[in-house]
Amino acid sequence: MKRAILCFVALFWLSALSQAQQQTQTISGRVIDAETKEGLPGAVVSIPALRIGSSTNANGEYSFKAPVGKHTVEVKLIGYESKSQTITLTADEPVRLDFALRVKASQAEEVVVLGLSGEIERNKLGAAVGTVSGERINNIASPAAIDGLSGQVTGIQVTRGSGVPGGSTFITVRGPKSIRGSSEPVYIVDGVIIDNSQTSPNQAAVDAGARAIDINPQDIESIEVLKGPAAAAIYGAVAGNGVIIINTKKGKYNSNERPTKINVAGFYETSSPLGSIDLQKEYGQGVNGIAGPNAYREPGPGETRGTPGVALSWGPRIQPGQPVYDQLNGIFRTPNSFQQTISVSGAASYFDYYVGGTFDQNQGVFRNSDLNRSNFRANVGFTLLPGVRYTTTNNYIISQTLIPTVGNSISGIYLSALRTPPTFDNTRAYEPDGSQRRYGPYDNPIWTQENNSYTSRLSRFIHNSALNWDIYQEPTSGLFLGARAQLGLDRYDQTNVYILARGARDANFGPGGAGAIVTDPRFDNQLNLEFSATAKYNFTKDIRATLIAGGQYISLRRDAINAQTNDISPFFSQLNSGATQVASSSRVESVLIGQFGQLTVDVFDRIALTASLRRDGSSAFGTSQPFSFFPKAGLSYNLGQESFMEGLKGIVDNVVIRAAYGESGSPTQPDPYATNFLYTSGGITGSFARGTWSNRLGFAGINASTVGGATQDVRPERLVEREIGLNLGFWNNRINVEANYYVQTIFDMIVSFPVPISTGYNSVLRNAVSMTNQGFELAIQGTILNTPELTWNATINYTRFNNVVNSLSGAAPISLGGFTGIAEPYVNAGQPYGALLVPGWLRDQNGNIVRSGRTWVQVDANGNMVRDANNRVISVAPNSPNSRLVVSGAFSTRDVANNGAIAGLIGAPVQDAQPIFGAANPYPAYTLAVRNDFRILKNLSISILFDGVFGNQIFNGTQGGLINFGTWGPTRDREEPAFFEGEPIIVDPARTTPLTLFGVTYQPGQQVQRTVLYRGFLSGFIIAEPHIQDGSFLRLRDVTIQYNWDILKDFGISQVTFIFSGRNLATFFKSYTGYDPEVNTFGNSNARGIDWFQFAQIRSLRFGVQLTY
């Protein structure tokens, strides 16, 4: 073995010595813009076959040495067309080689790297692939790289769950895909399939992000988005949700004089909440206009704490001079965030390297809301022997995230602040005895920030090793044989600790006030091995083929512990400080093995045909179908290369027609043990309990699970995509248009079915649901101006999307979570995925809301309301046959939900006792992004991105909840006469006695106050439909201003760059009355479209200086 190693080393150094002893000569020149004639800095000029070259300086000049002989020199620069030229280099004299590059508004000629599919020209793709350059990501004012995808690619929607650092970012590509599993895409970083799961011991209260947020924006070189199976089917069972391929920075050629580039940068960032909430300051704490015992009472003589009073602000009018408080300003701080980054990179003939580190200290707008992260990266490539190259990428991440309790919890900072009566001062957070000073049952938001905590600590290592061997290459026939082997590892340890201090009112983990500690350490190991072989052959000069075949092995092992204690000590925050401790542990293991093959044929440089097939087997698949096949086919026809198009050159330069078909599966379904016979450690089972159990000597044993059963016939979920597209280039490719239309059919979606008791189970898993996503995508890119003084590039991305659930195959409508009885996203046949089920108004066949004492409806023989096919009642003329007037008590709770509220009232809205399916579609009808990039006087660049969603609907639970508590701003008119949709609400004139409602007595025929409408009919705790709102908005998403200054080049600093970045700077076209429509209470789950006191996005301003040596 030692001898073999010594021989290998000797061969390596002999090869290097041979190269070093060759005669060399200088190649130099200048790279300029073909139109402006200005020098282009940063262009890479190289001889790819020898892996030597240089990058241009600020004036576009370059110089490097190469061995004498015949070489092909290539120049590349992002945003410009690449060029190459063959030269013969002699020992006698140097060669000067200048290049003039044209701006490339179109990306059509770019070569994209699509993971297992290898490199391919974009024009030869049958399916659309989105590309985002690292420049778009590197300087965003966000610690999460994936946030930078907003508005950058058609067909993709990015939603932040909230504005806290380390919070969730939810991404869907061409819509939702699964019910039990995630709809998010698979992330591949430098060839490594990384884990993107989300974990939190209290997800409802804490918006903890999934693990894709660990990727550092500063490390990104480019991102490729494979939007569906038509592009990504080669990844088989894991590709149904789309694939996001992230390529990080590698070493690049620099000048011979300065082969190593060093970048050092520092940034400062501050932020503030985006949007506002209108809170009333006219009425104080109390009920029915009475404060007294209902309001907070200060401690009396001899008392050490006050009396909280009630949570409602339906008390008396606040008197002049009585203090009122701004409940929001008191909970926010002005954060100060810092980032330092350093990188060292370069390349030579046999070696390239990129080594760097980024250190983030990111503060949130709440106290104890911080993300501290250290991110280290080492990407290295070696040429071991001629044609044999080894590359490795390594990323080590250490982070500690403090996430505030801003979600749905009695201890929620945002929730309790918004519900606080205007007369209660939250900044006085402590009573004289040191306990928390609070109103009603809710924790004081200031006290919560200082005492409750959620801490997530992470240590993560992502590694990739790849060995590429160019086995054989014959120039005449173009025959090429190559092989590639790759090992990827994603390993991390994460520990989340949620501490509810003693005195906190949240009772989710034990008695309210007793405090609790919950932790869930987790240890993830994901390994993927790949091997592929590539063969290329030119059958003729016009017919070329490429064949790729290989295999992939993906394994996951996840160990998790959950420990909880309650009734804790007030001064010792450890698990053993509680009176009761409960712990559990689990292990998940899964393996997927796949084989794939792909053939690409290029005919006359016009027609490209691609066909691939993947066969996957997984430990999660049932034994009835242990393997599944996933095919893909694509066709592109470059009409612009035809001779009859020559006369249009300069006007119409590029016409490519595309079509593609692909099938793939879900990355998370079936889940690892969906097809197994399971047991649980449920303790000693009673003799009449269902299922099978095993105990030992009277001690707790294992019980057979009553969920799932051994459902060996469960198949992988399957997505079939059909796509057609068109690429057009106009006016020397200064304007490029890409249009795509796709139809995705998702079927065999796995759901849980109830089964008879006789089976021994409560439910089993079955393939049942099918649905369809379809959409149209349009991207327009163009160079509007290109002069020495000003360059202006513009991009418009437009996506229209539609989704419908086709069939449940006998399954009942399926809830995706949400709030039971208030707002639940459901999967129901004939409706959009995740459309909300809500309590709403009783409506007639014309859509009119039924009014008490006004509307007559048709009834059946039992006196129940007759309903049409849309579940609406039939309104009829007064006193019609088989009809009845809608008044309190005239109908049972089968039809009328608010009999008590409408009692004695005329004109009041009637609430339907049957919830409304499909009341709101949380997914937008279309998205729109507009980006403008300017370069002014060579050194100044400005980028502006507008990004918006339109046509989606959101349950504004914040509005509904605040109406209930009386702090919603519009409730300040509570003493005004009540109208509903223009019609007055009055006491029934036929009454013989007064009617008292919410502390006010009304005479027969008298119009009631709006308090009756708010408290009796519009509270978000009893009805949701009035709070369904349009979630459309257009946001000034990103602004980046960058100035490059070379005044210090005589001191060894080639460039000083000043950078300003702004994010979420302004919002337009928003009718939403909540804080922010771009939030989601349930984080990264499939339950979308619910805003229940969720904290808004933040407006960020970032300033930085970068030095390049």
Reported as a single tens digit per residue, the pLDDT across 859-914 is 999 999 999 999 999 999 999 999 999 999 899 999 999 999 999 999 999 999 99
Strand partners, 157: 172
Across 1001-1030, average pLDDT: 96
- For position 212, what pLDDT does the model report? 87
Strand partners, 76: 44
Asked, for residue 72, whether it belongs to a domain, the answer is yes
Question: Which of 191-205, 326-340, 970-984 has the least mean pLDDT?
Answer: 191-205
The token pair at 557 is 């092992």
pLDDT tens string 818-855: 888 899 999 999 999 999 999 999 999 999 999 999 99
Strands (E), 811-895: 814-815, 824-827, 835-837, 856-858, 875-876, 883-885
Residue 675's SS3 state is coil
375 pairs with which residues across the strands?
358, 397
For residue 80, tell me if it sits in a domain: yes
Q: Is 91 inside a domain boundary?
A: yes
pLDDT value for 123: 73
Backbone phi, psi, residue 873, to 5°: -80, 165
Banded pLDDT at 256 (limits 50, 70, 90)? low
Cα–Cα distance, 552 to 597 (Å, whole number): 11
Residue 1000 lies in a domain: no
pLDDT for 112 beyond 80: no
* Per-residue model confidence (pLDDT) at position 3: 54
**Where does residue 891 rank: exposed (0-12), middle (13-18), buried (19+ CB within 10 A)?**
buried
Distance CA 77, CA 642 (A): 28
What span, in angstroms and rounded, lies between the C-alpha atoms of 481 and 487?
A: 21
- pLDDT the model gives residue 1077: 92
Q: Which pLDDT score is estimated for 592? A: 93
pLDDT of residue 685: 43
Q: Which residue has the higher pLDDT, 1083 or 437?
A: 437
Does residue 202 form part of some domain? no
Per-residue pLDDT at 236 exceeds 80: yes
Measured CA to CA in angstroms, residue 380 lies from 48, 219, 460, 956 at distances of 17, 14, 19, 50
Residue 1 carries which side chain, given as an amino acid letter? M
CA dihedral defined by 288, 290, 293, 299, rounded to 10 degrees? 130
Altogether, the residues listed in the chain come to a count of: 1109
Name residue, tokens 């401690």: 299
pLDDT digits over 56-93, tens only? Answer: 887 888 988 888 888 899 998 877 888 889 998 888 88
> Mean of the pLDDT values across residues 592-606?
92
**In-domain check, residue 67:** yes
**Mean per-residue pLDDT of the chain:** 88
For residue 1097, what are its two tokens?
């996005």
Per-residue pLDDT for 20 more than 50? Answer: no
In terms of Cα–Cα distance, which of 141, 188, 150 is closest to 171?
150
Q: 523 is written with which tokens?
A: 């240890």
CB burial of residue 444 (10 Å; 0-12, 13-18, 19+): buried
Residue 960 resides in a domain = no
Of all residues in the chain, what percent carry a pLDDT higher than 90? 60
Mean pLDDT of 323-340: 91
**Could you report the per-residue pLDDT of 724-733, keeping only the tens digit for each?**
999 999 988 8
pLDDT tens per residue, range 900-920: 999 999 999 999 999 999 889
Q: Is the pLDDT of residue 18 over 50?
A: no
| β-strand partners of 170 | 159
Q: How far apart are CA 788 and CA 1094, in angstroms?
A: 48
CA distance 1043 to 217: 20
pLDDT above 90: residue 692? no
Q: Whole-prediction pTM value? A: 0.90
Reported as a pLDDT band with limits 50, 70 and 90, residue 815 is very high
Query: Does residue 631 carry a pLDDT above 70?
Result: yes
pLDDT range class, residue 128, cuts 50, 70, 90: confident
Q: How confident is the model at residue 703 (pLDDT cuts 50, 70, 90)?
A: low
- Strand residue runs (E) in 138-256: 156-160, 169-173, 186-189, 192-194, 220-226, 243-248
Q: How many domains does the chain have?
A: 1
| pLDDT one-digit tens code per residue, 978-1011 | 999 999 999 999 999 999 999 999 999 999 999 9
Rounded CA-CA distance 163/639 in Å is: 47
| 760-793 confidence digits (pLDDT tens) | 677 788 889 999 999 999 999 999 998 888 999 9
Contact 955, 838 (CB under 8 A): yes
For 1050-1090, the DSSP string reads GGT--EEEEEEEEEEEEEES----SS-SS--TTTTSS--SE
- The burial class, CB within 10 Å (0-12 / 13-18 / 19+), for 442 is buried
The strand pair at 627-638 and 652-665 is best described as antiparallel
Q: Would you say residue 13 has pLDDT above 50? A: no
What is the pLDDT, as a whole number, of residue 5? 46
Q: Kindly state the percentage of the chain with pLDDT values over 70.
A: 92
What ranges make up the beta strands (E) of 619-698?
A: 627-638, 652-665, 679-680, 693-696
The pLDDT assigned to 690 comes to 43
Tell me what pLDDT residue 117 has.
Answer: 66
Q: Is the C-alpha dihedral spanning 289, 293, 294, 300 positive or negative?
A: positive
pLDDT of 156 over the 60 cut:
yes
Q: What is the pLDDT of residues 742-753, one digit of tens each?
A: 999 999 999 888
The pLDDT value given to residue 53: 84
Please tell me the predicted confidence (pLDDT) of residue 8: 44
pLDDT bin (cut points 50, 70, 90) of residue 407 is confident
The phi and psi torsions of 525 (rounded to 5 degrees) equal -135, 120
The CATH code of the domain that includes 57 is: 2.60.40.1120
pLDDT 10s digits, 289-324:
999 889 999 999 989 999 999 999 999 999 999 999
Who wins on pLDDT, 878 or 49?
878
Q: How confident is the model at residue 684 (pLDDT cuts 50, 70, 90)?
A: very low
pLDDT, tens digit, 9 for 90 and up, residues 354-388: 999 999 999 999 988 999 999 999 999 999 988 89
Cβ-Cβ contacts under 8 Å for 876 (sequence gap 6 or more): 856, 857, 858, 883
Asked whether residue 836 is assigned to any structural domain, the reply reads no
Residue 827: strand, helix, or coil = strand
* Residue of 273, 594, 296 lying closest to 439 (CA atoms): 296
- Counting beta carbons within 10 angstroms of the beta carbon of residue 325, is it exposed (0 to 12), middle (13 to 18) or buried (19 or more)? middle
Nearest 5°: CA angle at 625, between 620 and 629? 95
- pLDDT tens per residue, range 271-283: 998 888 999 999 9
Spatial contact of 735 and 648, defined as CB atoms under 8 Å apart: no
Alpha helices (H) in 804-861, listed in sequence order: none
Distances from the Cα of 217 to the Cα of 213, 593, 729, angstroms: 10, 32, 31
What is the average per-residue pLDDT within 136-159?
Answer: 90
pLDDT value of residue 719: 94
pLDDT at 160 over 90: no
Q: How many helices (H) and strands (E) does the chain have?
A: 8, 59
Which structural domain range is residue 76 located in? 22-101
pLDDT for the residue 1016: 95
